């Protein structure tokens, strides 16, 4: 069974990415699995090309640093011909209504749909192509990507119903824990690598002292009867960060 998942270089990898996805990928990887940096997805909004290239290399280094087999990791744009060709075919079976209903399109185009890039509407179809191209049976992602996997399932079923059994219909696999890590400064929102205010975001390559300061300033939130034990959490995270940073630095010179 092939499992496939990706991470978009829209910013530096943060703690939610690590706990909710990357760590799980490394721990549960099989020889049939594939993981990739989805740099084409990061082009759907305004971006700096040089920064995008740097973030792509950085994220590739992080995936290798956590222990994922290098043979199972790739950068999406390295296979742009295959991904783009299948995207077009799937666009021919996807409706405009399906693409427009995607939550992330609504969020990112809220300031003005007329000025939103067309790729922001169609990129869920590209994501479906990413999944279906490799015959993935299971897609381990966070809750925010569940709707996109459901679209991939719908398109696979529709295509198979019209043209014959071509695509594997993928299954969504949500993490048991850490599916949504909250911003330390504003628990009402989730921690995000593209956040404009990084005060509450712990990036995996942050220096350990900075991680301690961010966690030390975290807004205390009751979780049932328990309260976040900040000192213990900071110690555990920063020790893990030290090891990860060292491995990422070694890999960054090789990718």
> SS3 for 93-159, per residue?
CCCHHHHHCCHHHHHHCCCCHHHCCHHHHHHHHHHHHHHHHCCCCEEECCHHHHHHHHHHHHHHHHH
Give pLDDT, residue 87.
Answer: 97
Taking residues 209-215, report their average pLDDT: 83
| Alpha-carbon gap, residue 206 to 209, rounded angstroms | 8
Pick the closest to residue 223 from 174, 178, 157, 173 (CA basis). 178
The two three-digit tokens of residue 203, written as one number = 């990036």
Angle at 143 between CA 19 and CA 46, to 5 degrees: 90
Determine what percent of the chain is predicted with pLDDT higher than 70.
79
Give pLDDT, residue 232.
Answer: 42
Give pLDDT, residue 23.
Answer: 86
Q: Which residues are catalytic?
A: 108, 190, 193
| Alpha-carbon gap, residue 248 to 24, rounded angstroms | 17
Exposure string of 203-230, with b = 16+ CB inside 10 Å and e = fewer, is: bbbbebeebbebbeebeeeeeeeeebee
Give pLDDT, residue 116.
Answer: 75
Pick the closest to residue 63 from 50, 49, 73, 76 (CA basis). 73
pLDDT in tens, 54-91: 999 999 999 999 999 999 999 999 999 999 999 999 99
Give pLDDT, residue 43.
Answer: 92
Classify residue 164 as left (phi > 0), alpha (psi -120 to 50) or beta: left
Pairing of strands 226-227, 222-223: antiparallel
Let me know: does 75 contact 37? Beta carbons within 8 Å. yes
The two three-digit tokens of residue 72, written as one number = 């199972």
What is the pLDDT confidence band of residue 45, given thresholds at 50, 70 and 90? confident
Give pLDDT, residue 227.
Answer: 43
pLDDT in tens, 224-247: 444 444 444 544 555 565 666 666
pLDDT at 163 over 90: yes
pLDDT at 223 over 50: no
Give pLDDT, residue 157.
Answer: 98
At 10 the three-state DSSP class reads: coil
Q: Which carries the bigger pLDDT value, residue 195 or residue 90?
A: 90
Q: What is the pTM of this model?
A: 0.80
> Which of 73-82, 107-116, 172-181 is the most confident on average?
73-82
Give pLDDT, residue 211.
Answer: 83
pLDDT at 155 over 90: yes
Give pLDDT, residue 237.
Answer: 56
Determine what percent of the chain is predicted with pLDDT higher than 90.
45
Taking residues 190-197, report their average pLDDT: 74
| Alpha-carbon gap, residue 27 to 66, rounded angstroms | 9
Give pLDDT, residue 1.
Answer: 85
The helix, strand and coil proportions of the chain, stated in percent and rounded to the nearest 5, come to: 55, 10, 35
């Amino acid at each position: 069974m092939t499992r496939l998942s990706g991470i978009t270089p829209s910013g530096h990898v943060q703690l939610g990415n690590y706990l909710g996805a990357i760590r799980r990928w490394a721990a549960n990887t099989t020889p049939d699995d594939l993981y990739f940096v989805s740099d084409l997805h990061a082009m759907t909004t305004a971006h700096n090309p040089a920064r995008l290239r740097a973030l792509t290399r950085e994220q590739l280094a992080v995936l290798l640093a956590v222990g994922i087999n290098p043979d199972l990791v790739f950068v999406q744009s390295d296979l742009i011909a295959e991904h783009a060709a299948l995207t077009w075919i799937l666009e021919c079976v996807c409706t405009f209504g399906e693409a427009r209903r995607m939550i992330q399109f609504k969020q990112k185009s809220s300031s003005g749909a007329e000025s939103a890039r067309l790729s922001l509407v169609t990129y869920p179809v590209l994501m479906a192509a990413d999944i279906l191209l490799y015959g993935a049976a299971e897609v381990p992602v966070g809750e925010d990507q569940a709707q996109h996997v459901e679209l991939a399932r719908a398109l696979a079923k529709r295509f198979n119903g019209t043209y014959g059994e071509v695509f594997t219909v993928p299954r969504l696999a949500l993490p048991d824990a850490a599916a949504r890590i909250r911003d330390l400064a504003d628990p009402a929102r989730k921690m995000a690598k593209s956040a404009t205010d990084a005060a509450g975001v712990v990036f995996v390559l942050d220096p350990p002292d900075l991680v301690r300061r961010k966690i030390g300033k975290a807004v205390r939130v009751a979780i049932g009867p328990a309260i976040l034990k900040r000192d213990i959490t900071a110690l555990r995270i920063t020790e893990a960060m030290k090891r990860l940073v060292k491995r990422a630095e070694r890999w960054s010179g090789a990718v």
